[in-house]
Amino acid sequence: MVKKNIKNKVLEPLFSKPSGIKKQEAKENDNKGLTVKKNEDFSEWYTQIVQKCELADIRYNVKGFLVFQPWSVLSMEKMYCYLENVLQRKGHKPYWFPTVIPESNLKKEEGHIEGFTPEVFWITEAGNNKFEERLALRPTSETAFYQMFGIWIRSYKDLPFKTYQRANVFRYETKATRPFLRSREFHWIEAHCAHASEENAMKQVYEDMETTKEVLHDVFGLPFIFFERPAWDKFPGAERTFAADVLNPDGKVVQQPSTHLLKQAFSKAFNVKFADKDGKDKYVWLTCYGPAVSRIFASVAIVHGDDKGLRFPWAIAPLQVAIVPIVDDAKLMKKAEALKKEIEKFASVEIDKSEKSAGEKFNYWEMKGVPIRIDLGLKDLEAKKVTVFRRDLGKKDLVADGSLMNHLKKIADECGDNLTKQADKIFDNRIKDVKNIDEIKKAIEDGKIARCGFCSVGMDGAKCAEAVEKDVGASVRGTKLEKEKASGNCAVCGEKANYVVYVARQY
Amino acid sequence: MVKKNIKNKVLEPLFSKPSGIKKQEAKENDNKGLTVKKNEDFSEWYTQIVQKCELADIRYNVKGFLVFQPWSVLSMEKMYCYLENVLQRKGHKPYWFPTVIPESNLKKEEGHIEGFTPEVFWITEAGNNKFEERLALRPTSETAFYQMFGIWIRSYKDLPFKTYQRANVFRYETKATRPFLRSREFHWIEAHCAHASEENAMKQVYEDMETTKEVLHDVFGLPFIFFERPAWDKFPGAERTFAADVLNPDGKVVQQPSTHLLKQAFSKAFNVKFADKDGKDKYVWLTCYGPAVSRIFASVAIVHGDDKGLRFPWAIAPLQVAIVPIVDDAKLMKKAEALKKEIEKFASVEIDKSEKSAGEKFNYWEMKGVPIRIDLGLKDLEAKKVTVFRRDLGKKDLVADGSLMNHLKKIADECGDNLTKQADKIFDNRIKDVKNIDEIKKAIEDGKIARCGFCSVGMDGAKCAEAVEKDVGASVRGTKLEKEKASGNCAVCGEKANYVVYVARQY
């Protein structure tokens, strides 16, 4: 899902060749930390984070397609784990659907195909055979799942029918791509559910939002607001769309999981009916929910990262503890190995045996965002102590050997919450009440989210939203779930305000 | 990998429509167990296992593409977990590479593209744009990984460079597809490694074989023999190919993980060089290893399954314990919930609250292969006992409440090993020494693997292998790793035997 209107910007060339020069560049960057501050040049900071922390390599020779590297993959695998565990606990069953969808399936729901057509990759041949019908690389899988729902679902006893799949999806993005934030192949979970009534379907939508909070906020530490999107910004084929906007430190928002109450058009198109208790055949009510793990990873990097580099919550750190012997010494190495054995029982841990200097090693692990670094020096060894650096607070402690494990476990317990608390502060005083377009502009330029009266979130409000887009370069994110009472006038057209909406710039 | 020669058989139509009739059929099959015996009609037995245990649905409307259902996915996710843990422990790092590969990459290694061309799905357009160069849906990812290896690897210090990815791959199979065994999209791990010398690369190949034993045999309980494939049956682009043949009860083999020492042609094609200790630039030695999880699942189903249905090893069971209250009674349900809470601490567990009869429930969980079923009856409730059915031995025990948890843990510990031991027996007396083609034929018809002298496993032996294929419908699997001394004559052409080879029918 996470589907936006397409504007016909200039297409990026699809192919690019990796060159020898880049190999050289990468070499020169070795062992150097970030060279810009996050709040001074956010864009460059992000580029460096992706490259220097080895999160993804953009030099693959198909434009917009990334190679995800171990440091991000290890973290994203953990993210999948948390999300899937919660979904399974709430009764979703896992499926693996085919990656390919026949064009005729995609066409069955009018709004859906209209929204996605410009972005679909098409398979037209295999071996020496040209196909009679094109196959889409799934941009999203409603039209694959619901066809099978039509076969599987028979009675009210089968409902709710709650599914999900872990999958990669493909969209021929015409906007500039950005690693993790917008690429032509990304990794997500899509949950698809069928319900007996609209009311139950809406309950599912609320459950999805609760899941988002449980995992993205409470475990990954991401602060967000759920908005109901205006009519012009809904998922193609949806009746109502709800999406979590995560706030970046620079005031721009990133859309994270969205959940959708779909029109019954889908269940009609794919003939997904059930025999109800009253004996009558009825169409099911469908919902879909799409947390995009690779995009969520971007928010984790952006929200928690600082001028030194990444900072991972304990739960999703690719590595939790790094042990750095300060000098190359057999006794130190022996101690390092002994500590590793102890720590392995409750955390992932590695000894840095590289040939870098101690200072370079310190900076490296700080940049990589490992929650705990243990520095082993000869003097400390004699005193039966070690130096423990915790990344969440940027603090060093000298800890006696005897209390080390408890000390580490305490940090493990606390550091996720600390990052969450620090992140939640991003929202402090961020919402600015405004009355007209100049005030919206001013608020946005100050890195705030503007809140204002608005004429309509139906299609008749689209012209006012376009004006905001044009004049301010920001978009109307929608209304809060707990409806706020509007008073006064629309900040754009001056007509009566019927809604309170939020305006922000987005990535 | 797991790539075979293509014969131009009749192509299956690519599209098929799901029909209303099938919905009806599925309905009628409900609550019925298997209707054939495994050793009487293996093919129908397997079809029923896939359908009735709800492992995969073949009614998706693109031919050869399956919908994997929760009962198989839950097990395959655990398989991934075991495989990935072992790979990571042995120093492999996880990556996610793009699904698409430019045609020019595929063409860089001659033997590779020749082998794969007939099976590649091609993306030729996106949105309204026709591409100048076609993109392949990866049939395997050598030509994606090694291009990046060329960028990443610089010095001997970077070696060994050990990677892997969990991915789905696509092959336009022209043979009849079979769920899990051969389909046009399947799920695997591909591990790619670069080494400083051929010797180190061969060590990697042996490590891969050891990994296969550690996981496929010791955890999943699959008995197999590793063969070095003859020249005509190597992976396209490989110098040497080693593959595990799992034996089915009917005597046919299924090729499982293969590991390959690649020709240096790949490192030359993608310019993967390293500066060695002596200061000279040298090409790396590459290896690749491909355990196909969806295919391994087929072997688990086939090897352990019996006339009643599936039997899962504890470690990879989609569900480990099913609790069946025999009658609908509040006290029984209360006990079921209490047991569930206890069992949840060490196993996955579910209470069967369906409206089926007790007998239907018993058969259902037996068919589904759950390692432990707990039957709760009113009489037992009073006696403070429960009936525990263990699927590995097909045995029921009446167990006192007080010793129940220990009893369950004991079964959990034992049942995987029991299945492995039972499976290992498949190989007892299976290998038959033979001297000529008639004896090969007789051995194969008796469900055995034929062992015989053979003139050559180089390309000059291919004509004898073709004769075996034609006359017996079986293939030469290759030589054992620990070389066996050949004597006498080639069983086919009668020339001097230089090798001892094994001949079997395969799926």
Q: Tell me the CATH number at B72.
A: 3.30.930.10
The verdict on a CB contact (< 8 Å) between A59 and B151 is: yes
Chain B residues in contact with A132 by the CB 8 A cut-off are: 14-15
CATH at A336 = 3.40.50.800
CB–CB contact B61 A96 (8 Å): no
With beta carbons less than 8 A apart as the criterion, state whether B284 and B274 touch: yes
Q: In this structure, are residues A5 and A230 in contact, taking their beta carbons and an 8 Å threshold?
A: no
Who among B69, B105, B148 is closest to A95 (CB)? B69
Closest chain A residue to the Cα of B77, Cα to Cα? A94
Does the residue B11 lie in any domain? Answer: no
Looking at the structure, tell me whether residues B255 and B228 fall in a common domain: yes
State yes or no: pLDDT of A20 exceeds 50.
no
Q: Of the candidates A391, A425, A459, which is a domain's last residue?
A: A425
Measure in Å the smallest separation between the Cα of A70 and chain B Cα atoms: 5
Residue pointed to by tokens 């979590």: A244
Query: Do residues B190 and B220 share a domain?
Result: yes
For CA atoms B158, B162, B165, B170, give the dihedral sign.
positive
B285 and B351 assigned to the same domain: no
Q: Count CB neighbours of A8 within 10 A.
A: 8
Decide if A488 is inside a domain: yes
pLDDT at A8 over 50: no
Instruction: Classify burial at B429, counting beta carbons within 10 Å of its beta carbon; exposed 0-12, middle 13-18, buried 19 or more.
Output: exposed
The answer as to whether A442 is a domain residue is: yes
Residue to substitute from B6, B71, B100, interface A, most A β-carbons within 10 A: B100
For chains A and B, what is the number of CB pairs under 8 angstroms? Answer: 178
Asked whether residue A77 falls in the same domain as residue A217, the answer is yes
Q: Is A450 inside any structural domain?
A: yes
Query: Nearest by CB to A102, which of B15, B147, B185?
Result: B15
pLDDT reported for residue A3? 34
Show the CA angle centred on residue A253, arms to residues A251 and A255, nearest 5°: 170
Query: B103 CB contacts (<8 Å, ≥6 apart)?
Result: B122, B133, B134, B135, B136
Find the CB nearest A127 among B102, B119, B147. Answer: B119
Q: How far is CA A438 from the centre of its chain?
A: 32
Mind telling me how many Å the CA of A165 is from chain B's nearest CA? 10
Judge whether residue A11 has pLDDT over 60: no
**DSSP-derived 3-state class of residue B41:** coil
Instruction: Confirm whether A209 is domain-assigned.
Output: yes
B453 and B393 belong to one structural domain? no
Dump pLDDT digits (tens) for B116-126.
888 999 999 99
Q: Are A96 and B11 an interchain contact pair (Cβ–Cβ within 8 Å)?
A: no
Closest CA–CA distance from residue A300 to any residue of chain B (Å)? 19
Q: Do residues A222 and A246 lie in contact, with contact meaning Cβ atoms separated by under 8 Å?
A: yes
Same-domain pairing of A151 and A256? yes
Q: Which residues are CB-contacts of B487 (< 8 A; sequence separation ≥ 6)?
A: B453, B497
Is there a single domain that holds both residue A438 and residue A467?
A: yes
Residue B450, min C-alpha distance to chain A (Å): 35
The parent domain of residue B236 ranges over 53-101+138-304
* A67 vs B26, B74, B148: nearest CB: B148
Residue A114 located in a structural domain: no
Q: Are the beta carbons of A60 and B94 separated by less than 8 Å?
A: no
Contacts of A144 in chain B (CB under 8 A): 60
Q: Do both B285 and B143 map to the same domain?
A: yes
How is residue A178 annotated by DSSP?
B
- Given A286, A304, A322, which residue is the final one in a domain? A304
Predicted confidence at residue B271, as pLDDT, reads 96
Whether A77 has a pLDDT exceeding 80, the answer reads yes
pLDDT digits 0-9 by tens, A278-303 = 999 999 999 999 999 999 999 999 99
- Regarding whether B441 and B384 lie in a shared domain, the answer is no
Residue A9 has pLDDT above 80, yes or no: no
User: Which of A22, A78, A121 is the mutation pick for testing B, counting most B CBs within 10 A?
Assistant: A121
Residue count of chain A: 507
Please answer yes or no on whether A73 and B65 come within 8 Å at the CB atom: no
Residue A233 inside a domain? The answer is: yes
What CATH number has the domain bearing residue B484? Answer: 3.30.110.30
- Kindly list the residues from chain B whose CB atom is less than 8 angstroms away from the CB atom of residue A93: 69-70
Residue range B190-210: mean pLDDT, rounded: 97
Q: Are residues B72 and B174 in the same domain?
A: yes
Partner-chain contact B60 A15, CB within 8 Å: no
Helix (H) or strand (E) holding B435, with range, is none
Q: Are A128 and B147 inside 8 Å of each other by CB?
A: no
Q: What band does B30 get if pLDDT is binned at 50, 70 and 90?
A: low
Residue after which a domain boundary falls, among B398, B425, B452: B425
Tally of domains in chain B: 3
Residue B342 lies inside a defined structural domain of this protein: yes
Read off the pLDDT of each residue in A492-504 and give the average, rounded to a whole number: 96
Q: If you average pLDDT over every residue of chain B, what do you get? A: 92
A344-399: pLDDT as tens digits: 999 999 999 999 999 999 999 999 999 999 999 999 999 999 999 999 999 999 99
Helices (H), A239-357: 265-269, 293-304, 330-343
Nearest CA in chain B to A19: B151
Mutating which of A7, A60, A295 best tests the B interface, going by the most B Cβ atoms within 10 A?
Answer: A60
Taking contacts as CB-CB distances below 8 angstroms, the residues of chain B near A133 are 15
A77 and A208 part of one domain: yes
Nearest-CB residue to A97 (from B67, B70, B94): B67
Give B137's contacts in chain A (Cβ within 8 Å).
Answer: 99, 123, 137
Do A319 and A401 lie in a common domain? Answer: yes
β-strand B349-351 against B321-325: which pairing, if any?
parallel
Q: How large is the average pLDDT for residues B462-483?
A: 94
Contacts of B14 in chain A (CB under 8 A): 129, 131-132
- Over the stretch B399-440, which tens digit does the pLDDT of each residue have? 999 999 999 999 999 999 999 999 999 888 899 999 999 999
